[in-house]
Structure 1
Amino acid sequence: MKKLAYIGCLGMIGIITTEFGVIGILPQVAAHYHITIDQAGILLSAFALVIAFTGPFMTLLASGFDRKKVMLLAMGLFVLSAAGSALAPPFWLLLVLRMLPAFLQPVYISTAIAAAVGSVDKKDAHRMMSVVMGGISIATVTTVPLSTWLAGRFNWESAFIMQAGVSMLAIVGIWLLLPPMPAGEKKSYGAQLKILGRSDFLLTSCINFVMIAAWFSSYSYFADYLSKEKHMNEEMISSMMLLFGITGVVGNWLAGRVIGKNMVLVTLVLLGGTIVIPIALSFCGYEGWPVAGVIALWGLWYAPCFLAGGANMISAAPDALEFANSLAVSFGNLGVSVGTAVSGMVIATHSVAYAPWVGMVFGLVAIGLVLWRGVLRSRSSNMVCVAQ
């Protein structure tokens, strides 16, 4: 049923609007609370850390409940978080409100993907997964730049009001359009946890982590980079975020159609962007088509990274679909947190100009891990052939 994938995508838009909508308003938040940009970045990295360390366990706990109810509860926390944040509470409370929905974010994503993938033939599984994950690109092209525009036009609190509205719309869609989805026969915790003993799965998890860290080393400070290094005002930044999102939608669609045919090659191509983009940003100047072209390419390469990470991890553990999904989300968000934190430290001691280069370092490490995994798989395959 394709409907499950599209409803999952709607909820994903609400989730990503809340998680990443803060990226474009970090400069305003930093100014309001009289803190530095790297300190404001904690709003993003703390959210991601909660997901990284609690996601798999929360997913295991929720695996026996009706999927529709789990998705509604998760989206309800996102509404509560955004609405509370819009009141501009003290920074410590804003941080708490930001962390609250993070506990159920991976539960929602893994549940939505499992429901969508489980409702179609195996040959269509990656396509349905790309539909759900397409919510990341759609949010990037619509609600994330809208957050930046609202903050520039009115105030940063209005961005959170919009985020609450998007999540509320997702709740209505899930409530009205999804049928009850009982969990069915619950797998034992031990049966799901056993994938953690597979070296190939653990190495794939590390690849996912480093790949996401590579992209978020620069994307987390997207607005600040364009403001300070490309001398753009808030209106231009929101326009560039819109362009970034448009090409991201295209990139996610393309990756969804080809990743099932050659997952390793697609992953390496996406990681190649972490090398090309920093170099291109250094030589594209400050305005006009060259800058727009580089940002368009940036979005094209960046958007499918979550899809690639999830697809790699699911392929390494097809017998524990929901748990593998939650681990993909957790390792991905650990990458968001580490990439944001490491880049933030570099920015604090040097400048935001170095953020893309931090991403290149992570990208090179990820490429090395992908190639190493290929060697190990080849050796394992040869050993099996010899044994036979």
Structure 2
Amino acid sequence: MKNVHPLLIFVLALGVFGIITTEMGIIGVLPEVTQQFRITAAQAGWLVSIFALVVAVSGPFLTLLASGINRKTILLSAVLLFALSNTVYAFAESFETMLIFRILPALAHPVFFSVALVAAAELVPREQSGKAVTKVFAGITVGFAFGVPLTSYLAKSVSLEAAFLFAAAVSLIAFAGILFGLPSMPAREKRTYGQQLGILRKPQLWLHIAAVTLIFAAMFSVYSYFAEYLGQVAHMSGAWISAMLMVFGIVMIFGNFLFGGLLQKSATRTIAAFPLLYAVMYVLVYCLGTSPLSMAVLAAVWGAVHSGGLIVSQTWLMEEAKEAPEFGNSLFVSFSNLGITVGAAVGGWFLTLWGVHQLVWSGVLFALLAFVSILAKLVRGKSQQSILRGGTITEKH
């Protein structure tokens, strides 16, 4: 598959963009949803939380069940379900219907994401696989940068139906691209469920999982309250906060490729340094973030570093899950969602007890814990290599 057209990787990224727009875009249209269905904000919030919960719980198991199916079939089915769900949102006459169709695409989310990353890596020569995965990951950052704000804009300026139909159209375009561009990709060797679940017996994998969970907790313990921090600490107006959210998302696109390049040069150093970099950035935000001008600059840096957490975490986890790549990617999706949930909860706790300005210390705490878990894995790996070398020397004697 060395002659794959570059647009095919773009199509996979577009599918990821559609997923993020569907998952996160709902956040920007919750006020319109509450008005349309005459429900409370707390009730509307279930549209967000139910999605994340379903992804976290079901991801590995559904990916495991789909592991023997042709990857093209899986990708087509997933994006079609996302298109269908968004169309239902646009014309739903009850909140319950909308809630049900939040559950269905959440089931497809981790499966599509896991398979798309593996497919991207297999569609290009081995030496280009890292770049291909980075490009697919760009669909996430572009979704945050443009998909979420555009969905909100359409809901407010045109209609709620237009916002959901936009997301449906994106998924349908991805469907057409996959249908006509992607070659058939049957599972080369059907791994048994036992073989795939076998990676869970590796102690090293759980250190990787812990690091991924903690990295995402570090990222979202503070980012979940980004707008509130800018308003109360940096004293920015609503217009400035909106602009900073857009800047944050746009810079994430460039940060994604920056960290992708660093991982290509030295994956171990980049992964080990990342949580420390995040901790330093949070300290700078704490010390300098009271000035609107300084915070504007730091928000751009923050966006670049934040985007790195996605690809750094995925690379770190897949290093220990090579025997079952789709299942490994589903573990990444599930535990990153767990990290988001834990991080947002602990960040809210810090905010309630000590105020918005002290919020960043929850991020610093999680970042340092992530570094410790990465360091523990690296030390364990070196000690095992030493034991193996010692055993080889003994055998020779």
Asked whether the equivalents of residues 46 and 99 of structure 1 are also in contact (C-alpha less than 8 Å), the reply is: yes
- Asked if 1:251 corresponds to 2:255, the answer is yes
Percent identity between matched residues is 37
Paired amino acid for 1:358: S
Paired amino acid for 2:249: G
Q: Which residue of 2 aligns with 1:212?
A: 216
- Asked if 1:35 corresponds to 2:50, the answer is no
SS at match of 1:142: helix
Asked whether the equivalents of residues 74 and 104 of structure 1 are also in contact (C-alpha less than 8 Å), the reply is: yes
TM-score (norm 2): 0.86
Counterpart CA distance in 2 for 1:94 and 1:349 is 35
SS at match of 1:259: helix
Counterpart CA distance in 2 for 1:29 and 1:324 is 35
- Asked if 1:270 corresponds to 2:286, the answer is no
Q: Give how far 1:257 is off.
A: 1.5
Mapping of residues 95-106 of structure 1, within 5 Å = 95-106=99-110
- Asked if 1:310 corresponds to 2:314, the answer is yes
Q: Give how far 1:235 is off.
A: 4.2
From the superposition, tell whether residues 29 and 218 of structure 1 become closer, same or farther in structure 2 (CA, over 3 Å): farther
Q: Which residue of 1 aligns with 2:77?
A: 73
Counterpart CA distance in 1 for 2:279 and 2:243 is 24
Counterpart CA distance in 2 for 1:61 and 1:174 is 22
Asked whether the equivalents of residues 53 and 330 of structure 1 are also in contact (C-alpha less than 8 Å), the reply is: yes
Q: Give how far 1:261 is off.
A: 3.1
Counterpart CA distance in 1 for 2:120 and 2:169 is 25
Counterpart CA distance in 1 for 2:151 and 2:209 is 31
Among 15, 19, 22, which residue is 2:19 paired with?
Answer: 15
From the superposition, tell whether residues 28 and 135 of structure 1 become closer, same or farther in structure 2 (CA, over 3 Å): same
Among 60, 63, 79, which residue is 1:59 paired with?
Answer: 63
Per-residue displacement from partner, 1:307-353 (whole Å, max 9, x unpaired)?
A: 11111121112221221111112211221222233334555666555
Q: Which residue of 2 aligns with 1:334?
A: 338
Structure 1 regions of 5+ residues with no counterpart?
A: none
Q: Give how far 1:189 is off.
A: 1.3
Aligned length: 385
Q: Give how far 1:266 is off.
A: 1.3
Counterpart CA distance in 1 for 2:32 and 2:273 is 35
Structure 2 regions of 5+ residues with no counterpart?
A: 393-397
- Asked if 1:370 corresponds to 2:374, the answer is yes
Q: Give how far 1:87 is off.
A: 5.2
Asked whether the equivalents of residues 5 and 128 of structure 1 are also in contact (C-alpha less than 8 Å), the reply is: yes
Q: Give how far 1:218 is off.
A: 2.4
Q: Give how far 1:122 is off.
A: 2.7
Paired amino acid for 1:77: L
- Asked if 1:140 corresponds to 2:144, the answer is yes
SS at match of 1:319: coil
Counterpart CA distance in 2 for 1:238 and 1:172 is 34
Per-residue displacement from partner, 1:168-211 (whole Å, max 9, x unpaired)?
A: 33223222322332233311111211111111112101111111
Among 37, 44, 59, which residue is 2:48 paired with?
Answer: 44
Asked whether the equivalents of residues 207 and 369 of structure 1 are also in contact (C-alpha less than 8 Å), the reply is: yes
- Asked if 1:171 corresponds to 2:189, the answer is no
Counterpart CA distance in 2 for 1:10 and 1:273 is 30
From the superposition, tell whether residues 109 and 383 of structure 1 become closer, same or farther in structure 2 (CA, over 3 Å): same
Q: Which residue of 2 aligns with 1:180?
A: 184
Asked whether the equivalents of residues 141 and 249 of structure 2 are also in contact (C-alpha less than 8 Å), the reply is: yes
SS at match of 2:323: coil
SS at match of 2:319: helix
Counterpart CA distance in 2 for 1:226 and 1:23 is 18
Per-residue displacement from partner, 1:42-78 (whole Å, max 9, x unpaired)?
A: 5434322211221111111112222122112111222
Q: Which residue of 2 aligns with 1:299?
A: 303
Per-residue displacement from partner, 1:17-51 (whole Å, max 9, x unpaired)?
A: 11222344567767874336xx7655434322211
Among 176, 200, 205, which residue is 1:196 paired with?
Answer: 200
From the superposition, tell whether residues 233 and 309 of structure 1 become closer, same or farther in structure 2 (CA, over 3 Å): same
- Asked if 1:111 corresponds to 2:115, the answer is yes
TM-score (norm 1): 0.88
From the superposition, tell whether residues 234 and 130 of structure 1 become closer, same or farther in structure 2 (CA, over 3 Å): same
SS at match of 1:260: helix
From the superposition, tell whether residues 344 and 71 of structure 1 become closer, same or farther in structure 2 (CA, over 3 Å): farther
From the superposition, tell whether residues 22 and 338 of structure 1 become closer, same or farther in structure 2 (CA, over 3 Å): farther
Counterpart CA distance in 2 for 1:364 and 1:54 is 29
- Asked if 1:162 corresponds to 2:160, the answer is no
Q: Which moved more, 1:186-195 or 1:235-244?
A: 235-244
